[in-house]
Amino acid sequence: MPFCISHVAITPRLILVVASLVALLTFTGCGSQSGQPAGAGLPPPIPSAEPVLLFNGTGTSSSDVAAVESVLGTLGVGYKTADSSQLNAMNEQQLAGYKLMIVPGGNSITIGGSLSAGTASMIRGAVEDYGLHYLGICAGAFFGGYSTYNGVDLTAGVGFDFYADEYKGIHVEPVLISFPGSAPLDVYWQDGPQLSGWGAVGAKFPDGTPAITEGQSGKGFVIFTGVHLEAPQSWRGSMIFTTPVSVDLAYAGTVIQATLKGTPLPHF
C-alpha cells in the first residue's frame, strides 16, 4: 500500500561553517520552511497519448474489464491496459503521465497480492504527489482504500467493509441507490463495499451507507463505487431491475468523465 559528529578541533572558522549549515537546513528541510509545497520539485510525468490506464492484472474480473472498456469506447476516451507485471515495472512519473487510473472489480486480495508493496506506494505517490486521478470499482475501491492486503491507502488509513447484505448471505442483487436531488437508480451489486468513513457521499445504499464517495487524495481526485454501474445487460440474467441498463450505463459514463476531469459529482 522508511547522523554523527566525530571529534574535531573547535575553531571560529568551524563555528561559522556549522552555523551556515544549520541555517541552510532550517530553511530547506522537508520543504516546510521554504514556502514550497510538499512534492515541489518533482520531475514531470511522462505523458501518455491516452488519458486512461485501465488495470487488467491478476485478480481483476475479465468481464468487468470488458464492461469498462465498452463504456470508455462509447465515450470515445482513449485508454491503455496494464497487467500486474507491467504495473510493477512502472515508476511514478510513467503512471502519472495518465490522467486517470481505473481499477475494476474482481478480488481485491488477489489484486493486492499480485503487486509489490512498492507498486502500491508508487500508485499512491502518482495520485497524491503528481495528481493522477483514481476510479476504484468494487474490488478497486477496496484496493484503493486502506487494506492489510497491500492496499494503496488513498484514504489516510480508512478501510472499507462489505455492504450489509453480504452478511445476510446475499452476494449478487439489484440495489436501489439514491442521489441528492435526482431519481434513484437500480444497479448491479456483487460483493461490493459500503464506503463509510471517507469522502463526500455521492450515492447511498438502501440502508443509508455510502455507495459512491469522492474526494481529494493529495493532488489527485478519487471516486470509489461499491456498485457496478457499468454492468451490461448480460449480467442481469433473471434478476429484475427497475432502471433500464442504458440509464445505468449512461451514469457509469458520467462517473468516468467526472473522475477523468477531477470534477466532483453532486453529493449529500
Type of residue at 125: G
Mean pLDDT of 117-141: 98
Residue 254: what are its φ and ψ, rounded to 5°?
Answer: -60, -40
Q: At what angle do helices 62-75 and 245-261 cross, to 10 degrees?
A: 80
User: Chain-centre distance of CA 33, in angstroms?
Assistant: 31
pLDDT of residue 263 exceeding 60, the answer is yes
Residue 41: per-residue pLDDT? 80
Residue 76 DSSP code: T
Residue 31: per-residue pLDDT? 30
92, 130 Cβ separation under 8 angstroms: yes
195, 211 Cβ separation under 8 angstroms: yes
Question: Angle at Cα 104 formed by Cα 1 and Cα 253, nearest 5°?
Answer: 125
> Considering the entire predicted model, what is its pTM?
0.85
Residue 39: per-residue pLDDT? 55
pLDDT of residue 112 exceeding 70, the answer is yes
Ranges 23-37, 83-97, 121-135: which has the least confidence: 23-37
Express as a percent the part of the chain with pLDDT over 70. Answer: 85
Say which residue, 189 or 12, is predicted with more confidence. Answer: 189
Mean pLDDT of 102-129: 98
Type of residue at 52: V
Mean pLDDT of 123-143: 98
**Residue 66 confidence class, pLDDT cut points 50, 70, 90:** very high
Mean pLDDT of the chain: 88
107, 140 Cβ separation under 8 angstroms: no
pLDDT of residue 23 exceeding 60, the answer is no
Helix (H) or strand (E) run with residue 71 in it: helix 62-75
pLDDT of residue 245 exceeding 60, the answer is yes
Q: Where are the beta strands (DSSP E) in 77-226?
A: 79-82, 100-103, 133-137, 161-162, 172-179, 182-190, 193-194, 200-204, 210-217, 220-225
Residue 40: per-residue pLDDT? 62
Residue 75: per-residue pLDDT? 98
Say which residue, 153 or 6, is predicted with more confidence. Answer: 153
Pairwise CA distance, residues 110 & 150, whole Å: 10
Mean pLDDT of 207-213: 98
